[in-house]
Chains A and B, each alone.
Chain A
Amino acid sequence: MYDLIICDGRIIDGSGLPAFVGDVAITGGIISQVGGRVTGPAASEIDARGQVIAPGFIDPHTHFDVQLLWDGQARPSLEHGVTTVVPGNCSLTLAPLKAEHRQRLVRMFQQIEEMPDAAFNGAFEWTWESFDGYLEAITRQLSINVAPLVGHSVIRLWVMNDDAQKRAATPDEITQMQDLLRQCLTAGAVGLSTSFVDVDHNLLPVPSRFAYLEEIDALGAVLGEFGRMLQVVPEFYNTDITIARVDQLAELSIKHQIPTTFSPLFDSSAMPDNVTRVLARVDEQFARGARVWPQVQTRPIDISFNFDMASLMFAATPAWYMVMRLPHDQKIDVLKNPEARAQLIEAAEPGGDISRFAELRVRDSQNPDLIGRRLGDLAQERQTTPANTMIDLSLEEDLQVHFLAANMGHEDPTRVGPIIARERVHVGASDAGAHIQSFATYGDTGYLFSEFVREGGYLSLEQAVKKLTSDTAQIWNLPNRGLLRPGQAADVVVFDPDTIARDEEHPVNDMPEQGMRYVRAAIGIDTVIVNGEVAYTHANGYTGSTSGVIATQPVQ
């Protein structure tokens, strides 16, 4: 007897081969039959007429490390059809981590990934220091599969303590780091993440950036023992440096026979030949036998923000960024101080150039007449500048007015579509679970189908599914996942190919202590199945299933 039969769907098996109509049967969490009319009794059936049956989507760049401790469903990623997530990117993970380093790491997470304090303090109990202890903590309630990276910065911190952010490692310390990495990989880590760009809460470079090449090479050797991934954050805002990073990764890939990936890679009118040049180098390195996978996100860069937080929006304006990091009341005092305000205005609108914030719009306000208005237009009405208007509006509503900077880059589908369709481009870089008060990092999968399959026709439905499933599973060496084939783990998504999309971004207060974040609901997703158990249905929502596993191990 089967546990579940999904009947009469359009099967897209993840291989890129053409779709066909048939049934999919599941027994014991494993796919037992694909295609044909499955006969025999089943505990339950899903009618998939008119819908696609596909492998569950895999998101290779997330920061769900902390959310998984209180939300094993990784909401709302699961309802978008994502059945496996890779947390631990960008050198930061919650393990291995000594108790005395916890708050230091929390502040790094808050700074780099824009996550609120309540997410870390009070929402869960720290019960671990080791990597396997962390895995034990999250697997108690997992609805979604997890393939966790281990962070280079925390490995360095464990071995070198305060010196992790001061100096080169000694040969003995590098050996200790290798041993620690080996333990993490044995426990189930999918690879190592490192960062070349991030700074901590004191604006000090994160520990991984103090590593010399010999340290990274030594850790690469350990990855080679396991055939595991090296993920890096390169200087994505500079083409020449990104190409240099591609070359470094290629050398490590060939020497240690490991896959590598870097994220993000953006298209931008400010750097029109960036992607072309970087991908040309990627192609050359693949031709040498290296594996250097550029991760490209599907969504344009939209940043939402208010003055109550230190948003990425102000990253390029340090004077503003420092003010935004102040406590609430102190920040208001500074914004009301004429001298300080004059300095901020000059920094944002040097010499009276008001272009920087003119195109921003009011996203949310107590005054409905303001919502959707351009700051440039409001400034004209108020006979002032956009920067002054933004400060005034914020002060009028106790810093709670939300603004939207739309299409900050990566926004032209006629350029992004052909990039995503390339064979050596890895669709990813969603950042799901991070930057939660700046933009919604969910729904990139739906956007791939709505914008680049249906609207632009840059990929076929089968190619898009392959990108999100078997390509990702193979790039990351996730055994028995990413394909609808007998013997594979039964991670399945049933969706309507004519409507699948991401819904509008909106704020919700579902973080610990009613904290706010931006999310998007899914459109067109009917059913999501994880290891044979229904985890989400459009009709009834999340089921509370706990069938998620650490996805680096072969299924039994």
Chain B
Amino acid sequence: MPLSKQREFISPRPDDDWATIVKRVLPDQDPETAMSQLKSWNLHLFARQPPGEFLGSDVIFIEGPRDGKEAPSFFGIEVEVS
């Protein structure tokens, strides 16, 4: 059974930063525009401290959310607490 289409993501590699990810996943786009777009797809990494810094285990989306908007969050949680 084929998997349905879901929002595409990658796992970061050691030594990755936003620029290396842009280069790898959006190689044909203008780097500045692509960087801005990539960050806009990963607001969950900007809603915590320090904003925009990702960790080895993080999920990094390489496309936008379904319907063009972020899914609502549970219980208003946007910070890192389980």
Contacts and interface: CB of A to CB of B under 8 A. Distances in A.
A240 B78 contact: no
A318 B81 CA distance: 10
Interface in A241-256: 241, 243-245, 247-248
Interface stretch (B11-19, B21-29, B32-40): B11-19
A437 B73 CA distance: 25
Interface residues of B, number: 32
15 contacts: A198-B81, A208-B57, A209-B55, A209-B56, A209-B57, A210-B56, A212-B56, A233-B82, A236-B74, A236-B82, A244-B9, A247-B6, A270-B75, A271-B72, A274-B71
Contact of B6 (A212, A243, A274, A318): A243
A187 interface: no
B44 A215 contact: no
Nearest to B11: A213
Given A213-B11, A236-B82, A315-B81, 9 more contacts: A196-B58, A209-B55, A210-B55, A212-B12, A215-B56, A235-B44, A238-B74, A244-B9, A274-B74
A271 B73 CA distance: 6
A112 interface: yes
Interface string A302-324: 00000000001001101000000
Contacts of B44: 235, 238, 241
Contacts of A280: 4
A237 B74 contact: yes
Interface stretch (A15-23, A67-75, A281-289, A461-469): A281-289
Interface in B37-51: 44, 49
Given A210-B55, A281-B6, A238 B75 contact: no
Contacts of A413: none
A475 interface: no
Given A168-B14, A281-B6, A409-B74, A318 B59 contact: no
Contacts of A210: 55-57
The residue among B12, B44, B72 with the most chain A CB atoms within 10 A of its own CB is B72
A204 B14 CA distance: 19
Report, nearest first, the 8 A-B pairs whose CB atoms are least far apart. Answer: A212-B56, A316-B76, A168-B14, A237-B74, A315-B81, A213-B11, A287-B1, A237-B77
Interface in A214-262: 215-216, 233, 235-241, 243-245, 247-248
Nearest to A212: B56
Contacts of B80: 197-199, 203, 205
A280 B4 CA distance: 9
Contacts of B78: 237, 316
A493 to B, nearest CB: 30
Contacts of A112: 82
B71 A240 contact: yes
The residue among A112, A168, A194, A266 with the most chain B CB atoms within 10 A of its own CB is A168
Contacts, number: 116
Nearest to B53: A205
Contacts of B14: 168, 212
A240 B65 contact: yes
Contacts of A205: 55, 80
A212 B30 CA distance: 28
A408 B74 CA distance: 10
A288 B4 CA distance: 12
A248 B12 CA distance: 13
Contacts of B6: 240, 243-244, 247, 281
B73 to A, nearest CB: 5
A244 B41 CA distance: 14
A237 B7 contact: no
Contacts of B56: 168, 209-213, 215
Contacts of A211: 56-57
A196 B55 CA distance: 10
Contact of B81 (A197, A245, A247, A288): A197
Contacts of B1: 284, 287-288
Contacts of B3: 247, 284-285, 288
A238 B71 contact: yes
A326 B58 CA distance: 30
Given A196-B57, A316-B77, A203 B7 contact: no
A195 interface: yes
Contacts of B65: 240
Interface in A183-211: 194-199, 203, 205, 208-211
A546 interface: no
